[in-house]
């Protein structure tokens, strides 16, 4: 991941302004420590902090067309750039960068080219011929982008809020799947897939189509000129990513440079469910596995830094971002700059445990649509910013455009959790990779119960966070929370604690408005809380809040030793049912 900053139409174009742009861009250097670039044209500035993944030697940014009348600063990866270049034979390319196609596509097609891009991206393009500009963000919002407005009429864009919050009067999260056009004077949606309307689809389930489309998504993301690995928690999603990547690694271009031994990484408290499961999957696949440990105190000590980097006060996101932030630092120390990760599967297939309570297929499907649309504020934000804090790029094959279209066209009756038919959560995905002749994973891993990342790293992690917050937030402080924080008022001491740290770094009202709110149980949207009356009394984003569903739900026997055993017993029983 790189860091981009663009300021367009500012009144002041003095040397002092240029110095200020460089200073603000420096706030993004953790995202791109490999090189810095700045393009100035009259009152417009495009800055770039580069993390070199593809073409490290010549792909420095900003990038240009042949006569440099079009300049672009990009954060992301364009996986189909070679195919796009084939249709741009009349254009001269200066670099091997996958992002250079953007400048030439604009020359050919104007503003209507964004849907041609297959990848994750946020970019700002300046056309100096008429001083117009566009900015766009990928379909789901894997890559972060913010937009702001200065008092002088300038428009700002930045990968992270910290680069524009001090200098903009107003700013907000740039919506995924949108393009901003200076010619048309605002935002419009470029990504309009069939599922976006939330109409219930009727396509029959075909396991081979699901499998093949996902394998293609993983293969695309092996495009790299630097060492890479896979984040492997031992759960279904990360295990499938690792298994598929390993199957196709030997034939990839990456293997020619870095060999065909796949590196996998897992983090957790000692004795945590993820460490045990991750090791088991790594042994089964034969990967070079790196088991990383942290203590509750390590995590607590990092909380302030995590909130600064991830730019949120959402409880779930902070709980899960902290171990990922710590793991990314160790991954970078091993010389790895890119990782594959399993985000997005639970949203697409209804994998969160609260989906057990979905009353019908219509509500099930509508909830998956709501979850995907909100990913940029939760898991995408966490995966991107936790890793980018240390100059590591996370790629997420489950959020491939083609794979989402295939998965979201399936009749949701197939996705519903049906114990009477032996279908647990994400059965359509598990079944698609249940290959008896050439197994992708052991059965009990393939049918392991969903464990949220913040839970799987060790149950005492969340309990330790709550205890720490209780020591720093008094009953009186929480009682007066609605007066101190009238917008998006924190309802727990843990939420209050995170909010005070966030406000210290980002005190403007526009900053707090970038963070979503509302009631949630086990990562549900506010709407899904209505599915079970008991949940409204147990609003916690942990998977253990799914009372009557999670084998270690709150209020049940939950000693540290018994939890992993319960998970194991459930996993052992499930394949027999299926």
Q: How far is CA 130 from CA 41, 126, 183, 325, 368, in A?
A: 12, 9, 10, 43, 42
Strands 63-64, 338-340: pairing is: unpaired
The DSSP 8-state label assigned to residue 160 in this structure reads S
Strands 338-340, 288-293: pairing is: unpaired
Q: In this structure, what token pair is assigned to residue 261?
A: 């031994």
Cα torsion 408, 397, 55, 145: sign: positive
Burial class (CB in 10 A: 0-12, 13-18, 19+), 23: exposed
CB 72 within 8 A of CB 95: no
455/476 Cα distance (integer angstroms): 29
| Length of the chain, in residues | 578
569/563 Cα distance (integer angstroms): 10
Cα torsion 527, 528, 532, 535: sign: negative
The DSSP 8-state label assigned to residue 410 in this structure reads B
Tokens 């407005």 correspond to: 149
Which of 106, 97, 89 lies closest to 51 in space, CA to CA? 97
Which of 262, 560, 210 lies closest to 406 in space, CA to CA? 210
542/89 Cα distance (integer angstroms): 52
- CA gyration radius, the chain: 23
The SS3 call for residue 352 is coil
Tokens 């999957």 correspond to: 281
The SS3 call for residue 308 is helix
Contacts (Cβ under 8 Å, ≥6 apart) of 183: 111, 132
The DSSP 8-state label assigned to residue 235 in this structure reads S
**Strand stretches in 422-474, DSSP E:** none
For residue 530, the tally of other CB atoms under 10 A from its CB is 15
> Active-site residue 2, yes or no?
yes
Give me the DSSP letters along 193-217.
Answer: -GGGG-PPP-BPP-HHHHHHHHHHH
Q: How far is CA 566 from CA 274, 354, 441, 562, 572, in A?
A: 14, 19, 20, 6, 10
CB 347 within 8 A of CB 372: yes
The SS3 call for residue 138 is coil
CB 315 within 8 A of CB 494: yes
Tokens 């707090």 correspond to: 512
Known catalytic residues are: 2
């Amino acid at each position: 991941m790189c860091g981009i900053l663009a300021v367009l139409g500012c009144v002041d174009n003095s040397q002092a302004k240029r110095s200020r742009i460089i200073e603000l861009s420096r706030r993004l250097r953790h995202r791109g420590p490999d090189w810095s670039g700045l393009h100035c044209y009259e009152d417009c500035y495009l800055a770039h902090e580069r993390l070199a993944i593809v073409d490290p030697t010549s792909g420095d940014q900003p990038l240009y067309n042949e006569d440099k009348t079009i300049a672009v600063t990009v954060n992301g990866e364009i996986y189909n750039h070679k195919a796009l270049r084939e249709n741009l034979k009349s254009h001269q390319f200066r670099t091997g960068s996958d992002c250079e196609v953007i400048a030439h596509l604009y020359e050919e097609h104007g503003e209507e080219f964004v849907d041609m891009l297959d990848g994750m991206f946020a970019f700002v393009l300046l056309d100096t011929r008429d001083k117009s500009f566009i900015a766009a963000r990928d379909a789901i919002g894997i890559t972060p982008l913010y937009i702001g407005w200065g008092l002088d009429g300038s428009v700002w864009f930045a990968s992270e809020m910290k680069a524009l919050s001090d200098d903009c009067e107003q700013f907000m999260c740039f919506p995924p799947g949108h393009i901003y056009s200076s010619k048309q004077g605002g935002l419009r949606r470029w990504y309009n897939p069939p599922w976006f309307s939330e109409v219930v689809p009727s396509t029959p389930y075909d396991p081979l189509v699901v499998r093949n489309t996902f394998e293609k998504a993983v293969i695309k993301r092996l495009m790299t000129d630097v060492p890479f690995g896979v984040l492997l928690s031992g759960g279904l999603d990360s295990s499938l990513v690792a298994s598929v990547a390993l199957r196709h690694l030997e034939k990839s271009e990456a293997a020619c440079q870095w060999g065909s031994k796949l590196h996998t990484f897992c983090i957790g408290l000692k004795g945590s469910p993820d460490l045990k499961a991750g090791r088991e999957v790594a042994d089964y696949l034969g990967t070079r596995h790196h088991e990383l440990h942290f203590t509750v105190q390590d995590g607590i000590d990092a909380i302030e830094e995590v909130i600064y980097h991830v730019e949120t006060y959402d409880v779930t996101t902070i709980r899960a971002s902290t171990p990922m932030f710590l793991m990314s630092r160790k991954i970078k120390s091993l010389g790895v700059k890119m990782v594959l990760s399993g985000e997005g599967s639970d949203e697409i297939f209804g994998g969160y445990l609260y989906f057990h309570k979905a009353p019908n297929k219509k509500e099930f499907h509508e909830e998956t649509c709501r979850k995907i649309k909100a990913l940029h504020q939760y898991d995408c934000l966490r995966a991107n910013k936790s890793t980018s804090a240390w100059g590591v790029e996370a790629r997420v094959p489950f959020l491939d455009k083609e794979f989402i279209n295939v998965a979201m066209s399936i009749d949701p009756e197939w996705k519903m959790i049906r114990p009477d038919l032996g279908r647990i959560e994400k059965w359509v995905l598990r079944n698609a990779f249940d290959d008896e002749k050439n197994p992708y994973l052991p059965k009990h891993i393939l049918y392991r119960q969903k464990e949220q990342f913040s839970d799987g790293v060790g149950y005492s992690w969340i309990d330790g966070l709550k205890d720490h917050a209780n020591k720093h937030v008094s009953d009186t402080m929480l009682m007066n929370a609605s007066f101190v924080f009238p917008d998006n008022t924190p309802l727990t001491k843990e939420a209050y604690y995170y909010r005070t740290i966030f406000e210290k770094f980002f005190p403007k009202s526009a900053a707090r408005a970038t963070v979503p709110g509302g009631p949630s149980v086990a990562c549900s949207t506010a709407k899904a809380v209505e599915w079970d009356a008991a949940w409204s009394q147990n609003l916690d984003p942990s998977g253990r809040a799914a009372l009557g569903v999670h084998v270690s739900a709150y209020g049940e026997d939950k000693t540290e030793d018994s939890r992993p055993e319960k998970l194991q017993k459930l996993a052992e029983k499930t394949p027999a049912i299926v």
